[in-house]
Amino acid sequence: MGIAEAARLMGQLLTDPSSATGAAAAGLTEPVSLEARVLADLWDLVMGAAAGKKATPYQRPWTTTPKRATRRVKPAVRMTKD
């Protein structure tokens, strides 16, 4: 296997979220296929129609959790001259 073929295969692997490498590169917590995404949406539609407002959405591993905001400190010296 040459370097060009390895680079093409790695590119395919990185764009596929159902592989562990592609999921890690996309920032997902676990690999997920397109079929799993469609089934989760279908589950939400069916449960929303059946339970109404009490329905809870299916937990999706591909949603990122919001990160805590970091505290920013003002610089002691002005950066620009006025």
Number of domains in the chain: 1
In a domain, 71, yes or no: no
Could you tell me if residue 14 is inside a domain?
yes
Q: Which amino acid is at 59?
A: Q
| pLDDT confidence of residue 30 | 82
**Per the domain annotation, does 72 fall within a domain?**
no
- 8-state DSSP, 33: -
Structural contact between residues 18 and 31, judged by C-beta atoms closer than 8 angstroms? yes
**Which are the contacts of 17, defined by CB distance < 8 A and separation ≥ 6?**
23, 26, 28, 31, 32, 33, 62
The per-residue pLDDT for range 9-61, each reduced to its tens digit, is 888 888 888 888 888 888 878 888 888 888 888 988 888 888 877 878 877 76
Residues spanned by the domain of 35? 7-54
| pLDDT of 67 | 64
pTM: 0.54
